């Protein structure tokens, strides 16, 4: 089954404790992206990756890191989480063909709470 998976689905942590949210897709997609979703603000892009070893900042990259060492994986790293990073996080992927960037496949989401 074609899918994007994220782990963990739920996480409660404390300020300053480094964490990683994993994302993996099995569709051989070039493009992967991380979003956060907060009430009333829609989806805001954190980072995206056009392909292996190619990443770029989105709208709200502060406090986050990513890496793309393999095509299928795109982990999101919070080196020192803070309460304002409490949010619902989505990973998404799409094929690299023109226009296809507009059709993104989303993971199930990770609900993160930072105390």
Partner 1 sequence: GQSLEQPSEVTAVEGAIVQINCTYQTSGFYGLSWYQQHDGGAPTFLSYNALDGLEETGRFSSFLSRSDSYGYLLLQELQMKDSASYFCAVRGVDSNYQLIWGAGTKLIIKP
The C-alpha atoms of residue 76 and residue 74 are separated, in whole angstroms, by: 7
From the number of C-beta atoms within 10 Å of its C-beta (0-12, 13-18, 19+), residue 5 rates as: middle
105 near partner 1, judged by CB under 8 A: yes
User: Which among 53, 29, 43 has a CA at the least distance from the CA of 109?
Assistant: 43
**Binding flag, residue 74, partner 1 (CB under 8 A):** no
Among 34, 90, 93, 114, binds partner 1 (CB under 8 A): 90
Query: Residue 65 or residue 105: which is nearer to partner 1 going by CB?
Result: 105
17-46 mask for partner 1 (x: CB under 8 A)? --------------x-x------xxxxxx-
Answer yes or no whether residue 103 interacts with partner 1 by CB under 8 A: yes
Cβ atoms of residues 76 and 34 within 8 Å: yes
């Amino acid at each position: 089954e074609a899918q994007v998976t994220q782990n963990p689905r739920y996480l409660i942590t404390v300020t300053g404790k480094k964490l990683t949210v994993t994302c993996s897709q099995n569709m051989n997609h070039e493009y992967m992206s991380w979003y956060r979703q907060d009430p009333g603000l829609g989806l805001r892009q954190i980072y995206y990756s056009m392909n292996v070893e190619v990443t770029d900042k989105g709208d709200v990259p502060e406090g986050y890191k990513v890496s793309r060492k393999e095509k299928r994986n795109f982990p999101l790293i919070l080196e020192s989480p803070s309460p304002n990073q409490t949010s619902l996080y989505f990973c998404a992927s799409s094929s690299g063909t023109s226009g296809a960037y507009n059709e993104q496949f989303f993971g199930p989401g990770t609900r993160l709470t930072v105390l």
